[in-house]
Amino acid sequence: MKRLTALLLALLTAASLTGCEKEPESAELSLFAMDTYMTLSAVGEGGGEVLAEISRSINVLEQQFSRTIESSDVSVLNREGRISPDTDMDTLLRLAVQYSEETAGAFDVTIAPLVALWGITSDSPRVPEQGEIDALLPLVGSQHIHRDADVITLDEGCAIDLGGIAKGYASDAAAAIFHQSGLTRGCANLGGNVYVFSDDAVDTCWNVGIQDPQDPSGWVCTLALDDHFVVTSGGYQRNFTAEDGTVYQHIIDPATGAPAESDLLSVSVIAAYSGDAYAGTRADAYSTALYVMGERAAADLWREKNDFDMVLVTTDGRVLYTPGLADCFTEAEDSCYVYQQIAA
């Protein structure tokens, strides 16, 4: 791990980056896209133009992946059951199916009918009857997505929701642009999907704070990283409280059709940038899946894959992290959590 010479705190869900050692040629840009606030920052000559390019690229992707934009590829596919996708949509759907298989269906973009039924992040969330859930569950599963030559079709009644993966894909696009830019440092904080960039020649890291799910103004730990994605999923930000006081959060367990009842408060997946391997997209899908799976199955999947790191915050007050993070991991001061490394 490189020496930490600049303390730059990318709070995972905060709207702005703070604690930045200002250098003369630095730029920042904020935007609202993909239903979240995003903050981009860059150090180096021409940083403003690079950030504008990243912002344009995110907006283009949103036009294709949004469920609420009627002309998007996703809306067309959900409405008409078929589409000749452009390259990004084609790639993202291929990856989505792959990650669904890798996570035994815990991540699945065909969850859309149940996301709509519960409407957790909509203006009118509600707790449906079990019969309504049972009627929709057969529509969930990546086997309902078919690819024939350059046409993608969905089985009758099925729909897709890229909310659990599209920001990850956008972070991969940001990473590619940073790498081609000639800048020395950059950061894209896409609402829970963070990518930090340091040019190889620069001896600096970013300090990425993992938000405390129980106190969103604080964090449970910081990670000193360069050229990595840090993607956090949890139930603590997008949820609704029913009349009886039950809190329902927005990640649905495809096995039950109901909001996942996880023993985790949050999952952060940390993955190194690796060219065009879509590490940010994968980290986004995995963070959603690992939340659904819970502590034990998440640790099992990590051991099986052995190619990413993670920080789990459990409902019983522990912060678990993989040994690969030991050198870059700093516990929060005065924390009431118990910190444990996950056994390999």
Contact positions vs Mg ion (CB under 5 A): 164, 284, 287-288
Residue nearest to ligand ADP (CB): 163
253 or 284, CB closer to Mg ion?
284
**Nearest 10 degrees: Cα torsion 21, 24, 25, 31:** 50
With contacts defined by CB under 6 A, name the span among 69-77, 195-203, 244-252, 318-326 that binds ligand ADP.
Answer: 244-252
Q: Which is nearer to ligand ADP, 197 or 248 (CB)?
A: 248
257 binds ligand ADP (CB under 6 A): no
Q: For residue 144, state whether it binds ligand ADP (rule: CB under 6 A).
A: no
In contact, 198 and 185? CB cutoff 8 Å: yes
The answer to whether 233 contacts ligand ADP (rule: CB under 6 A) is: yes
Write 61-69 long-range contacts (CB < 8 A, 24+): 61/34, 61/88, 61/166, 61/169, 61/170, 61/173, 62/33, 62/34, 62/166, 62/170, 64/88, 64/89, 65/34, 65/89, 65/92, 65/162, 65/166, 65/169, 66/34, 67/112, 67/161, 67/162, 67/163
- Residue 68 or 274 having the CB closest to ligand ADP: 68
Residue 31 Cβ vs Mg ion, minimum distance, rounded to whole Å: 19
Measured distance CA(262)–CA(118) in Å, rounded:
17
Which lies closer to ligand ADP via its Cβ, residue 192 or residue 280? 192
> What sign results for the dihedral spanned by CA atoms 263, 264, 269, 270?
negative
Interacting stretch for ligand ADP, rule CB under 6 A, among 44-52, 178-186, 213-221, 250-258?
250-258
Most distant CA pair in the chain, distance: 61
Among 38, 111, 269, 320, binds ligand ADP (CB under 6 A): 111
Q: Is residue 125 a contact partner of residue 240, using CB atoms and an 8 Å limit?
A: yes
* Binding piece for ligand ADP, criterion CB under 6 A, among 23-31, 57-65, 179-187, 283-291: 283-291
> What's the min distance (Å) between Cβ of 123 and ligand ADP?
14
Residue 254 interacting with ligand ADP (CB under 6 A): yes
Residue 260 identity: A
Counting contacts by CB under 6 A, is residue 41 touching ligand ADP?
A: no
Give which of Mg ion, ligand ADP, none residue 113 binds (C-beta under 5 to 8 Å, depending on kind).
none
Name which of 163 and 280 has its Cβ closer to ligand ADP: 163
172's contact among Mg ion, ligand ADP, none, with CB below 5 to 8 A by partner kind, is none
Using CB under 6 A as the binding rule, whether residue 239 contacts ligand ADP is answered as no
Instruction: Kindly provide the b/e burial profile for residues 249-258, where b requires at least 16 CB atoms within 10 angstroms of the residue's own CB.
Output: bbbbbbeebb
Neighbours of 334 (CB within 10 A): 6
10 conformational bin, left if phi > 0, alpha if psi -120 to 50, beta if neither:
beta
Does position 85 interact with ligand ADP (CB under 6 A)? The reply is no
245 contacts: CB under 8 Å, gap ≥ 6: none
- Comparison of 81 and 125: residue with beta carbon closer to ligand ADP: 125
Measured in residues, the chain has a length of 344
62 touches ligand ADP (CB under 6 A): no
Nearer to ligand ADP, 109 or 205 (CB): 109
Contacts with ligand ADP by CB under 6 A lie at: 107-109, 111, 115, 121, 161, 163-164, 167, 192, 233, 238, 250-252, 254, 284, 287-288, 292
